[in-house]
């Protein structure tokens, strides 16, 4: 276990190689698929987009060179800012394509399958989204470590210190800054219109649910539980008890919360909810997307989009703050 944790802590030394290798394999696979006649939208839903197979292969293969340049000596001949910018660009494009992976994971848990909007089995797209999520995470790590290294700072902790280190020191648990707290509380409140309309629909109020459907009370109870878990996750990112287990947690009280425990699910959830909710609001506002149920943007569909967008963006802001507040510093060997 200790060796495994030590390997993860050395991520700046292997992230670039992993990013370059995965991007190269994925890029070659797309070239082969394109030659065989396969059309890929790189994780995005098929809504009339052009074929992205060849452009995607080009970006991934070029990105593999950028990732290796970030960790190999010959990459020092390339302007550092160009390497860092290229790695961030590949990360952004990959994470955009992967942002619907959460919906696939929820569908997989609930139904045991993954299907497209047409109802057909869609395991290939699901696999692409998983690969894109991994590519995005590895390229983000590569860009971050390269930017720190070329600035003369420690690639692991981001601070300037002597190369000899004897471990890590974690900061004291504290709440997020006031602006981040306000964003988190707003993200929690974004669920209120959606929950209110669902409650009215369950109570039999006409014109709320599509087709006059009246959801059972147990469905409303499940929704409340889901929202409560979502709020718990968001508040844990901005309050001290999300950094160190509080007294009311048996066996773990006083121990530091592993950083990956909240951050991994957050970065699976936040991009999907933020982009899906924001995109739905924009498309509905310009008349491209028609929300089911009464009231248009003021109805259930609009409230759902507002909840997803508000919570997703608040979650992303809180996650960035959490990562910065809990970032450990290297202990310099005396």
pLDDT score, position 184: 97
Q: Which domain holds residue 265?
A: 178-332
In a domain, 254, yes or no: yes
Distance of CA 264 to the CA centre of its chain: 8
Instruction: Give the residue ranges of DSSP H helices in 112-259.
Output: 123-150, 178-189, 192-202, 217-238
Domain membership flag for residue 27: yes
Asked whether residue 38 falls in the same domain as residue 155, the answer is yes
pLDDT in tens, 107-125: 887 778 888 767 778 888 8
Question: What local confidence, expressed as pLDDT, does residue 312 receive?
Answer: 94
74 falls within a domain:
yes
Q: Which residue has the tokens 């900061």?
A: 171
- Residues 210, 84, single domain; the answer is no
Residue 4 pLDDT greater than 60, yes or no: no
Each residue of 268-316: pLDDT tens digit?
A: 888 888 888 888 888 777 776 665 544 556 677 888 889 999 999 999 9
Q: Which of 8, 11, 7, 329 has the alpha carbon at shortest distance from 168?
A: 329
In a domain, 171, yes or no: no
Q: In the prediction, which pLDDT does 55 show?
A: 93
Does residue 2 surpass a pLDDT of 70? no
Same domain, 241 and 294: yes
| pLDDT average, residue stretch 329-334 | 74
The reported pLDDT for the residue numbered 25 is 96
**Distance, CA of 138 to CA of 328 (rounded, Å):** 20
State if pTM tops 0.75: yes
Give domain status of residue 193, yes or no.
yes
C-alpha closest to that of 128 among 112, 116, 142 = 116
pLDDT at position 176 is 96
Q: How does pLDDT run across 132-183, given as a tens digit for each residue?
A: 999 999 999 999 999 999 988 888 777 777 776 667 788 899 999 999 999 9
3-state secondary structure 35-91: HCCCCCCCCCCCCCCCCCHHHHHHHHHHHHHHHHHCCCHHHHHCCHHHHHHHHHHHH
Separation of alpha carbons 37 and 39, rounded Å: 6
Q: DSSP string of 85-132?
A: HHHHHHHHHHHHHHTTHHHHHHHHHHHSS-B-TTS-B-HHHHHHHHHH
> What is d(CA 1, CA 315) in angstroms, rounded to the nearest whole number?
30
Q: Considering 125, 160, 195, which residue would you say is the last residue of a domain? A: 160
pLDDT score of 42 more than 60: yes
223 shares a domain with 286? yes
Cα–Cα distance, 245 to 261 (Å, whole number): 12
- Boundary residue ending a domain (134, 160, 186): 160
Which pLDDT belongs to residue 279? Answer: 83
Residues 216 and 112 in one domain: no
In a domain, 170, yes or no: no
Q: Tens of pLDDT along 58-105? A: 999 999 999 999 999 999 899 999 999 999 999 999 988 888 888 888
| Number of independent structural domains in the chain | 2
Last residue of one domain, picked from the residues 97, 127, 160: 160
Q: Examine the domain organization and report whether 110 and 188 are in the same domain.
A: no
The pLDDT value given to residue 283: 77
139 and 184 share one domain: no
202 pLDDT exceeds 90? no
Q: Is the pLDDT of residue 1 over 50?
A: no
Instruction: Give the model's pLDDT for residue 5.
Output: 47
d(CA 140, CA 263): 14
* Domain presence at residue 203: yes
Judge whether 2 lies within some domain: no
Who has greater pLDDT, 96 or 185? 185
Same domain (yes/no): 72, 148: yes
Same domain, 66 and 204: no
């Amino acid at each position: 276990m200790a060796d495994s944790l030590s390997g993860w802590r050395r991520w700046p030394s292997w992230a670039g190689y992993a990013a370059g290798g995965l991007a190269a394999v994925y890029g070659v696979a797309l070239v082969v698929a394109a030659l065989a006649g396969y059309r890929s939208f790189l994780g995005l839903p098929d809504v009339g987009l052009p074929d992205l197979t060849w452009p995607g292969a080009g970006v991934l293969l070029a990105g593999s060179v950028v990732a290796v340049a970030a960790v190999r000596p010959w990459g020092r001949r390339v302007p550092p800012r160009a390497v860092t910018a290229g790695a961030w660009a590949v990360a952004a494009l990959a994470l955009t394509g992967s942002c619907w992976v959460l919906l696939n994971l929820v569908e997989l848990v609930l139904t045991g399958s993954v299907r497209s909007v047409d109802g057909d089995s869609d395991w290939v797209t699901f696999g692409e989204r998983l690969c894109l999520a991994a590519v995005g995470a590895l390229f983000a790590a590569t860009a971050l470590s390269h930017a720190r290294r070329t600035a003369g700072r420690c690639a692991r902790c981001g601070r300037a210190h002597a190369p000899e280190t004897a471990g890590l020191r974690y900061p004291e648990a504290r709440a997020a800054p006031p602006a981040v707290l306000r964003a988190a509380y707003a993200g929690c409140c974004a669920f209120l219109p959606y929950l209110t309309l669902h409650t009215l629909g369950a109570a039999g109020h006409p014109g709320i649910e599509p087709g006059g459907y009246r959801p059972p009370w147990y469905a409303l109870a499940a929704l409340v539980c889901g929202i409560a878990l979502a709020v718990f996750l968001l508040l844990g990112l901005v309050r001290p008890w999300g950094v160190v287990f509080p007294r009311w947690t048996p066996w773990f009280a006083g121990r530091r919360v592993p950083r990956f425990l909240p951050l991994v699910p957050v970065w699976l959830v936040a991009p999907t909810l933020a982009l899906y909710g924001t995109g739905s609001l924009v498309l509905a506002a310009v008349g491209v997307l028609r929300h089911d149920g009464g009231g248009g943007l003021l109805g259930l569909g609009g409230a759902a989009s507002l909840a997803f967008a508000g919570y997703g963006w608040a979650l992303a802001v809180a996650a960035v703050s959490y990562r910065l507040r809990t970032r450990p510093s290297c202990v310099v060997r005396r």
